[in-house]
Structure 1
């Protein structure tokens, strides 16, 4: 006999742009917000009764109304407002999960006094996932599509070789990757000790970049751990970080057919297939909670 398992519903990818006008100076927050609600929803599946269903259209409208009423101080804080609202205002909703992507804009410098022109930056996308079940909070911040490269200080040798191994050892190579990271905050809902979410994001991003740049890499795995360890060692605000690092391979091009010597100058950037290195770095004594597979996270 079939039984209903875990289920959720909501409105995905609500694109909301909030402009804050401070005289001639404007500020932008550009978010992609997905709402997922779960709780006492068996009957809508089993009998078609909508008695406990808040429409997905209403969840969409809430996102836009809250952007006006509460503003968007940060992706995390906006998600907290939404999650608390859905769980506390709807008796049938016991858990709300808010996933957010934030897109960055950079102000265009102008000679005049007006400061309302922006260019979309081509850097990483900031992410956040906020989950609230009426009692416990889980805040997972992160980023994706942060492309980084070291043109030296990376080697790869001493690995297992079998009959199918063709890769040559190297003591100097390009190391490039596209960082996808999620980190879980230790914050449990104490309003008096709410983190500075924007500041925490900037610090964590900085730790990831500096660790990548400052680590002499014997393998991408070693670099990944150095990046995660730098974040955990930086302070008590983060308990866990999950990193997914594709190895963006760069291969030296053989120029000998053209009578040219390639002195580690010209490379072919291969987009696929690619090695994929993933791992979690935890504070000692903390149990992991971030899913191993990051592909379905924002």
Structure 2
């Protein structure tokens, strides 16, 4: 019996690198979690244990640190592009370099410029696949962006059958933890102002969430995705995953108390998970 190795990928996962720029009176901290991977003609390593074509995962890790020192760490998208090109240059048998960069934002405390606190709950993400000789396929985004609104959200008119017990509501808390990926249009990744794209996309997400009356989290997802594409012409597509962080009105009647949409209990699971992709025509 014979077999074919039809797909392979290997790399170094979750390289934690913190870069400090002390060149100015206000220091800058870039806190990254970097994952690299290579795909290509590495079959002999799998089938025969022949490692002659393999750029070791340890070398990939060292490349992350070395590049951070040589070039500094700018926007996650820029670092991912530079790192992918470096890996392809170092690994002649690789056809594709994949890089994922997570950035944990920090903000300065006080006027000294050398003390920091974590900036919110969210994580900034860049995901890149760079084919040798081809165009980079780049996505930016955020993870763990927690948002909540206390009005302008309702849910009613849904399908009812014998297992449907959910009550309709015309006023509710709407909360979610946003995972978003915005994909650059072909040819738009190189030379883009990635900081401006990220800031504009994030602002559009938040403004859309806050600014419209939601009839369903699905509708909110669509409004958020289209707002990002309206705001940033460099982007071709937005992919969103929105878990519904349920808040249920607490029954206080047994204590002789009313509850006019004031006191809720938050349930962490199970939860509705709403996902979708909005693509520019």
The TM-score bracket by the shorter chain reads over 0.9
> Is the partner of 2:12 in helix, strand or coil?
coil
Alpha-carbon separation, structure 2, partners of 1:190 and 1:170: 43
Residue in 2 aligned with 1:293? none
Residue pairs, 1:1-298, within 5 angstroms: 1-110=2-111, 114-134=112-132, 135-188=134-187, 191=190, 194-284=191-281
Give the CA RMSD over aligned residues. 1.2
Contact 1:127 1:141 in 2 (8 A): yes
Contact 1:143 1:179 in 2 (8 A): yes
Alpha-carbon separation, structure 1, partners of 2:180 and 2:275: 10
Q: Which runs of 5+ in 1 are unaligned?
A: 285-298
Alpha-carbon separation, structure 2, partners of 1:107 and 1:236: 32
Q: Which runs of 5+ in 2 are unaligned?
A: none
Normalised by the length of structure 1, the TM-score is: 0.91
Alpha-carbon separation, structure 1, partners of 2:232 and 2:68: 31
The alpha-carbon deviation at position 106 of structure 1 amounts to: 1.1
The alpha-carbon deviation at position 93 of structure 1 amounts to: 1.1
Deviations 1:239-275 (A, max 9, x none): 0000000011100000011111111100010100000
CA 60–142 in structure 1, closer or farther in 2 if over 3 Å, else same: same
CA 54–129 in structure 1, closer or farther in 2 if over 3 Å, else same: same
Normalised by the length of structure 2, the TM-score is: 0.97
Alpha-carbon separation, structure 2, partners of 1:231 and 1:190: 16
> Is the partner of 1:10 in helix, strand or coil?
strand
Alpha-carbon separation, structure 1, partners of 2:233 and 2:197: 11
Contact 1:136 1:189 in 2 (8 A): no
> Is the partner of 2:262 in helix, strand or coil?
coil
Residue in 2 aligned with 1:294? none
Alpha-carbon separation, structure 2, partners of 1:215 and 1:75: 31
The alpha-carbon deviation at position 72 of structure 1 amounts to: 0.7
Contact 1:153 1:172 in 2 (8 A): yes
> Is the partner of 1:98 in helix, strand or coil?
strand
Alpha-carbon separation, structure 2, partners of 1:267 and 1:189: 45
